[in-house]
Structure 1
Amino acid sequence: MTMMMMITITMMMLMALMLGAAAACIVVLVPLGMAGWHLSRNSVLLFSGAILITLSVCVHFTPYFSSVSDYVTSVSSVAVFHRPKSSCMNLIHRIHWEVKPNASLLSFNATQNLSSSFDFYEKHWDWSKTQRIKACRIHKLSKPEASHLINGSWVLIAGDSQARLFTLSLLNLILGSEPQRMDSVKTALFKRHSNYSISVDEIGMKLDFVWAPYVLNLTHLLTDFKTKKKYPDVMVMGAGLWHMLHVSNPSDYELVLQTLKSSLVSLFPFSTELGIKSPPHLFWLGFPMLINGMLNAHKKRVHMIDAMWHAYDRALSESRLLRQTGGPMILLDIQSLTWNCGAHCTYDGMHYDTAIYEAAVQIMLNSLLIKSRHRH
């Protein structure tokens, strides 16, 4: 609801209160005044009754005056049917999963071990079919829709292996109709601990993946942007699994996240001093659900226990980096996606099926769409 609308409604409420007060004064004071002129008790009661009846009739017939009725109706319609951006943003993780065995594949080999059985399950997902989801127009974007949305954009994705898988899913949506090109992308993108860049000239999009397994790497990356005074249009970041494994200190993780938040807030002011028309769209890749018994290394099983995972998740929340806690970054909730997809969607308890990251990409794109509609 706009500020002007709120002011108008407030003025109407004040006018109603004033009219009510005036009516009360008429009902109470006029009869008293008449009594002061020595009118009979019956006359006073008759006059008071007439006033009350007149006021009641006015109240009941007010809706039939078109000017008042139409205005009240228009105000109430805006209040009921206008959904602010935040209400739609709250719905983008309402995803339903269907994970079931692929009978045609299982019939060929019924003795597969747990890790290889990962490929023997079909994973399907979609948003819940509710009126609120439909009203917000949340849906799976096609290649043309996604290409149009990020046309001419510079997209930066930085972080650990989760960010790399997210990058692959985004490029697969944009370039999936070109298998040979995607084969080349996979070969280059999955070089161990390396960065990757690609320009999709057809839509004028530039994409950079930066290997940044620690939050400190992300903060240094922001410093580089500030030095060069050039900034991406969309930034997707996520790091913490390496910190959990090699540092195992949730308090320290919270501190480095707070430093990252401070860098983001200071780097992207709502001004044009640094040549920024508007701040980048900022997204944070959350932790996946970790299944300790499936982790493929002893050190992981020792350090990445449930208690540690939950402590790191709390540190992320308490750092106030995320929009939901007053920070600058929108959460891409990998935790809820992986939890709802389940153990059959991962082969090592940490890295998940492509369907997870495809869903995360679609959540990001729908977030951009919602923000775009709100802006216009």
Structure 2
Amino acid sequence: MMFGAVQLGLLAACVVLFVPMGMAGWHLSRNKMLFFSGALFITLAVGVHLTPYFPSISDLATSVSNIVVFDSRDSCVSRLHDVVWDVKPLNANSSSLNYAKSWRWSSSRPVVACEFQKLAPSDASDLLNGSWVVVAGDSQARLIALELLNLVLEPGRMESVKADLFKRHSDYQIVVDEIGMKLDFIWAPYATNLTDLIISFKRKRNYPDVLVMGSGLWHMLHFTNASNYGISLRQLRSSVVSLLPISPELGEDVPVTGSVSVRSPHLFWIGIPTLINSMLNTEEKREKMTDTLRVAYDTALRRSKLLRQSNGPLLLLDVQSLSWNCGVRCTEDGMHYDGAVYEAAIHIMLNALLIESHQKL
């Protein structure tokens, strides 16, 4: 049956191709360029009509289309941190450290083409409607959770939320009834704590829709050992990968992308911020949390293959680059930054969710 369809297609092609070409050649022989253009147009038209009769051609066209789509998505994800800062004194005559901080995405052509946007509270609420979000880690994770709630909650609720969220070394849970979103903050300052959290998800067979986590600062201060940090990150990676659908064809622990039968959470890693050693608020921190140690910890993170950039499962929220570009005027203690830095991280995360879920607002 297919062979007959191909024969009919070829016959139609001969009629459509050669009859118009012969007529064009007879009447347009004095204008070879126009003749060539007509022949090329007709050939392309016939090719389009023949494509359905050749499955391999159709598959090739579909594959090329898919490659272009995925390349575009990957390219946009890689540009999510192309952020430009504007930090200005609130009072031109004042020498205080009170500065207004604002940010936007770069106006370069590739970034503009990605159509990133700061989500309005209503848009963020629509995106996270009915979701379970878990934010786990140290004080940086707590600030991320604060900015996410600041975006989706009514302003009047934030003071009480902040008081409860910032109880020292404690967990926090809230349900935003208006959108059915549940947020859990888990105090987990070490990577081993995060591994235990992943194991608890597996044991209960209950996984969040969005998991945002990070560690490093406490380990730098209390262990001061980048090699040990790297080992704990590799253990965390193994636990996280075991949550995800695995491709047996790859022969390695690489998460499957695309359509899968098991729901996979969206995974993000909170990077260590830029540390301004001279501004750290204790002698112990200034002695231990040096630039050299921070670089060693960054190297351990990269080598752990925990991050998407190194073929891992988690997408980096690069607080280091955001805080570095915001600058010294955006921190009072050289470690914790102004809310604008974590706000930018939240909008980067939300735009990544839009890209990964093939959505547009």
> For the superposition of Structure 1 and Structure 2, which TM-score range results when normalised by the shorter chain?
0.7 to 0.9
1:166 maps to which of 127, 132, 144: 144
**In the alignment, structure 1 residue 142 sits paired with structure 2 residue 120:** yes
Q: Which residue identity does 1:292 align to in structure 2?
A: N
Q: Which residue identity does 1:160 align to in structure 2?
A: D
Q: Residues of 2 paired with 1:127 and 1:226: CA distance?
A: 37
Q: Residues of 2 paired with 1:365 and 1:229: CA distance?
A: 25
SS at 2:135's partner residue?
strand
Q: Which residue identity does 1:135 align to in structure 2?
A: A
- How far the C-alpha of 1:276 sits from its partner, in A, is 7.2
1:252 maps to which of 228, 234, 246: 228
Q: Residues of 2 paired with 1:317 and 1:68: CA distance?
A: 51
User: Which residue of 1 is the match for residue 315 of structure 2?
Assistant: 330
1:130 maps to which of 108, 124, 134: 108
Q: Residues of 2 paired with 1:214 and 1:276: CA distance?
A: 32
Per-residue CA distance 1:309-364 (angstroms, 9 max, x = gap): 10000100010000010000000000110110000001000000000000000000
1:225 maps to which of 189, 201, 206: 201
2:190 maps to which of 210, 214, 219: 214
Gapped regions of structure 1 (runs ≥ 5): 1-55
User: Which residue of 1 is the match for residue 214 of structure 2?
Assistant: 238
Q: Which residue identity does 1:218 align to in structure 2?
A: L
Q: Residues of 2 paired with 1:80 and 1:221: CA distance?
A: 36
User: Which residue of 1 is the match for residue 85 of structure 2?
Assistant: 97
**In the alignment, structure 1 residue 302 sits paired with structure 2 residue 287:** yes
Pairs within 5 Å for 1:338-353: 338-353=323-338
Q: Is the 8 A contact 2:106 2:112 kept in 1?
A: no
Pairs within 5 Å for 1:74-93: 82=69, 84-93=72-81
SS at 1:84's partner residue?
helix
- How far the C-alpha of 1:132 sits from its partner, in A, is 2.6
SS at 2:173's partner residue?
strand
**In the alignment, structure 1 residue 121 sits paired with structure 2 residue 99:** yes
Q: Residues of 2 paired with 1:246 and 1:363: CA distance?
A: 31
Q: Residues of 2 paired with 1:223 and 1:305: CA distance?
A: 33
SS at 2:358's partner residue?
helix
User: Which residue of 2 is the match for residue 190 of structure 1?
Assistant: 166
Q: Percent identity?
A: 53
Q: Is the 8 A contact 2:121 2:152 kept in 1?
A: yes
User: Which residue of 1 is the match for residue 41 of structure 2?
Assistant: 64
Q: Residues of 1 paired with 2:214 and 2:111: CA distance?
A: 27
SS at 2:242's partner residue?
helix
Q: Residues of 1 paired with 2:311 and 2:180: CA distance?
A: 33
Q: Which residue identity does 1:95 align to in structure 2?
A: V
In structure 2, the CA distance between the partners of 1:276 and 1:222, relative to structure 1 (3 Å rule), is: farther
In structure 2, the CA distance between the partners of 1:291 and 1:61, relative to structure 1 (3 Å rule), is: same
Q: Residues of 2 paired with 1:374 and 1:355: CA distance?
A: 25
Number of residue-to-residue matches in the alignment: 304
Larger radius of gyration: 1
TM value normalised by structure 1: 0.75
- How far the C-alpha of 1:68 sits from its partner, in A, is 5.1
TM value normalised by structure 2: 0.78
User: Which residue of 1 is the match for residue 350 of structure 2?
Assistant: 365
Q: Is the 8 A contact 1:257 1:319 kept in 2?
A: yes
Q: Is the 8 A contact 2:308 2:316 kept in 1?
A: yes
**In the alignment, structure 1 residue 354 sits paired with structure 2 residue 339:** yes
Q: Is the 8 A contact 1:85 1:374 kept in 2?
A: no
- How far the C-alpha of 1:129 sits from its partner, in A, is 1.9
In structure 2, the CA distance between the partners of 1:323 and 1:79, relative to structure 1 (3 Å rule), is: closer
Q: Residues of 2 paired with 1:78 and 1:155: CA distance?
A: 33
Q: Residues of 1 paired with 2:67 and 2:294: CA distance?
A: 41
In structure 2, the CA distance between the partners of 1:62 and 1:256, relative to structure 1 (3 Å rule), is: farther
User: Which residue of 1 is the match for residue 179 of structure 2?
Assistant: 203
Q: Is the 8 A contact 2:245 2:262 kept in 1?
A: no
Point out 4+ residue stretches in structure 1 off by more than 6 angstroms: 56-60, 69-72
